[in-house]
Chains A and B, each alone.
Chain A
Amino acid sequence: MIDFELGDELELVRKTARDYADDHLRPGMRENESARSLGAKAWELFGEIGFACLEWPERGEAGGLGALAHSLVLEELAAADPGAALALEPLGAALYPLLEFGGEEAVLRYGEPLLTSPGARSVLVWVGAGGRASLADQGKRVSGSVPWIPADRVDSLILLDETRARVVRGGLEFRRVRGSGLRAAGASEVIFEGAEVVAEWEGEDEARRALARARLHTASLMLGVMREACDYSRNYALDRVAFGRPIAHHQALAFLIADMATALESARLLAWEAAWRLDTGLRADEACATAFLEAAEQTAFIGPNGVQILGGHGFMQDHPVEKFMREGRSLSLLLGGVDTARECAMRELAGTAGDVLLPLGDLS
């Protein structure tokens, strides 16, 4: 029966991630943003805890955890710094095309070498609809450009579109751009000058599943950003006094704060549903797209309102709410953004008769 209990193991994973983020990410948030990188200690510890390959196929002590565990960890990391969360995972969302198309062997081939080199990353780039990439194929080579990826250093680039995944190397130029957000992970425009495709897989099902899991990954990061924006602005509203009382005790703001909390919870529950579906082996691409959409929409609500609650202070970089606003929006631009996700979330609709939301058929 319906049950939202996470259980001891997941609670422990979550707490470990929270403690790590509190101790090693949040304090250096602004420094990491300026440096476009993290300190070595944060990386080292991240690997030691086993977070670097959390959702990989089980390997000794590490790996083997599911989508829900990963979602919880990403929320915790992103609550401190979503850019850092992106920077810290060697494979990040690139795990999913590797896993879906190439299986464990591909994950190890491309992932393993990254584990021993702090800061090494494989980056997933969505080049299908809505990705704003302009790429041309010439046999086994690719030319063109991608306007922005949240990375400065890329050890291997995985291109994913609706039907295939490709690994490209060489012939790549990463031009640094300022980045609207997520700068702790870096920010680059990618120029492809006859970049070599060193591996290529085809398959619509695999591509759809990889994109779905990547969407949940990004949605989970947005949850963290939203949570922190809610917490920070709520605490501020309890401290700040105007017209003789804490601004949180003016109904206009109190109601806004309540709506922000509801928005976060809505997004989180949809993400958990998607994760649960993945972990249970149910069809999940629609649910992942739905989770992404809700997270994107609620981030766009919570982020700017977090700034609004702090008023002028919110606009200044002495407080982190402006960062949450930028970074939540930036995350929602990845993977083809919301319009591509909407297409996916509604794909089934045209074919089914009635019962769009029936609990009976819906969840089995």
Chain B
Amino acid sequence: MNLFIDDETRARLEGIRALGASEIRPLGLEADRLGRPTPPEHPFFERLVKGGQGRTRWSGAPEASAPGERRSKVGSSRSTLCLAEEMAYWDRGVAVSFPGPGLGEPPLISMGTEDQKQRFLAPFIEPDRPRWGSFAMTEPGAGSDVAGIQASAQKEGGNWILNGAKSFAANASRADWIVVWATVDSSLGREGHRAFVVEKGTPGLEDFQVERKMGLKAYESTSFRLNDCRVPAANLIGGEEHYARKAGFKGAMRSFNATRPLVAIMAVGIGRAALDATTDFARENDLLCDIRVRDRLERARRKLRSARLLCWRAAWLADYGRPNILEASMSKAAAPTAALEAASLGMEVIGTVGGRGDHLIEKLFRDVKAMDIVEGTGQVQRLVMARQLVQFPRN
């Protein structure tokens, strides 16, 4: 048992902290005030890229599939969690707007062919300018129920023809490419799903619409349409063999999950920011002597603390490749609730100051709600837990 954060991670936390106070938080407040995402040509992104951000974690060399690889990554999830919490503390919206291959990177690394990694990830090894990748699964009619996506893919000669609509894809309109999920046969559910890299400027990739959101305004959530969008067969991630192979593994579920605790801890970061701001306000306004206020602050802090421990534990299990499906969902179910509670308490404490609509706590109160929705809603997490705990049936 050890809850110390290692020195290397601490040093990086200090770095985020400095950047957070000087740039990330102000940029987030600015985007919120102006009601638009930070534009891609903003000099902040240029500075980030010069500072070494926005890169792929793909090395550029063909995967050396050494069996010890998993071990060498030990510690990485926990460390990533600590950093993600700190980023979200300063501004989660700005954090998502950071240049880089984004959520499109994991499928390219895990499923992509060497040629595809070269074509799409190599530009992110030493990016010449801020570059973004994007990822589009969600549709207007299919969110939690991923199997229900309707965007279609039909093979036509050496191309695939994509048709459909995608929603809420982060950074999509500024991205060099978008990993788009579509189905070859919607009656097959997940088995019919295919992932394509759709490059910027491809005819039929159109109708980009940057959505207006309640919070997290610093990054763009974009909807778009695919109208007979013709994608070369070489852009089907993994190639057709990959999906034929995967069909053989039907029913083989991953036994651990590292992204749920990662998203959960971002909620902890937002909640922590709200709690700190609330405590500061209470101190400045002599409210800390009020037992009602103190008691509620205590509870908010305790819930964030236990949520953080739930996240850490799920990530620790993932780092060792141990089953953590239950623990990952616990963290994802608990943290956003704790964070919303902290922010909502903050609103009560600052009172009509929150009503003005220009206070950090008021922004965090809006921002944090998304965290109980993305990466599996709280309800979906409970379903996942129930499957583990009481073998809750899938249909």
Contact = CB atoms under 8 A, between A and B. Distances in A.
Interface of A: 1-7, 68, 234, 237-238, 246, 248-249, 251, 254-255, 257-259, 261-262, 265-267, 269-270, 272-273, 275-276, 279, 290, 293-294, 342, 345-346, 349-350, 353-360, 363-364
Contacts of A7: 1
B385 A342 contact: no
B1 A261 contact: no
A364 B297 CA distance: 22
B349 interface: no
Interface of B: 1-6, 9-10, 13-14, 17, 75, 78-79, 82, 85-86, 272, 275-276, 279-280, 283, 288-289, 294-295, 297-298, 301-310, 312-313, 315-316, 326-327, 329-330, 333-334, 379, 381-383, 385-386, 389-393
A200 B391 CA distance: 57
Contacts, number: 160
Given A234-B390, A262-B333, A349-B297, A276 B382 contact: no
B297 to A, nearest CB: 7
A260 to B, nearest CB: 9
Contacts of B313: 4, 265, 269
A103 to B, nearest CB: 26
Contact of A290 (B3, B4, B305, B330): B305
A249 B392 contact: yes
A231 to B, nearest CB: 10
Contacts of A246: 390
A355 B280 CA distance: 9
A75 B382 CA distance: 26
A275 B2 CA distance: 11
A257 B330 contact: no
Contact of A276 (B2, B10, B379, B381): B2
A243 B393 CA distance: 15
Contacts of A350: 283, 288-289
Contact of A356 (B275, B289, B326, B379): B275
Most chain B beta-carbon neighbours within 10 Å: one of A68, A254, A350, A359: A359
A270 B5 contact: no
Give the interface SS of chain A, mostly helix, strand, loop or mixed: helix
A354 B315 CA distance: 27
Contacts of A357: 272, 275-276, 301, 304-305, 308
Contacts of A251: 383, 386, 392
Contacts of B78: 1-2
Contact of B85 (A248, A272, A279, A359): A359
B341 to A, nearest CB: 13
Q: Which 8 A-B pairs have the closest CB atoms?
A: A258-B385, A254-B386, A269-B309, A266-B306, A248-B390, A1-B6, A3-B2, A255-B382
Given A1-B6, A290-B305, A237 B385 contact: no
A258 B316 CA distance: 21
Contacts of A275: 1
16 contacts: A2-B3, A2-B312, A238-B390, A249-B392, A251-B386, A258-B329, A269-B306, A270-B305, A272-B309, A346-B294, A350-B288, A353-B283, A356-B275, A357-B272, A357-B305, A360-B17
B392 A68 contact: no
Contact of B333 (A249, A258, A345): A258
A339 B334 CA distance: 24
Given A261-B330, A342-B298, A354-B280, A234 B389 contact: yes
A269 B391 CA distance: 25
Given A6-B1, A266-B306, A349-B297, 19 more contacts: A2-B2, A2-B3, A234-B389, A238-B390, A248-B392, A251-B383, A255-B386, A259-B382, A266-B307, A269-B306, A269-B310, A293-B298, A342-B295, A342-B298, A349-B298, A350-B283, A357-B305, A359-B85, A360-B17
A237 B301 contact: no
Contact of B13 (A1, A258, A346, A360): A360
A172 B392 CA distance: 56
A290 B1 contact: no
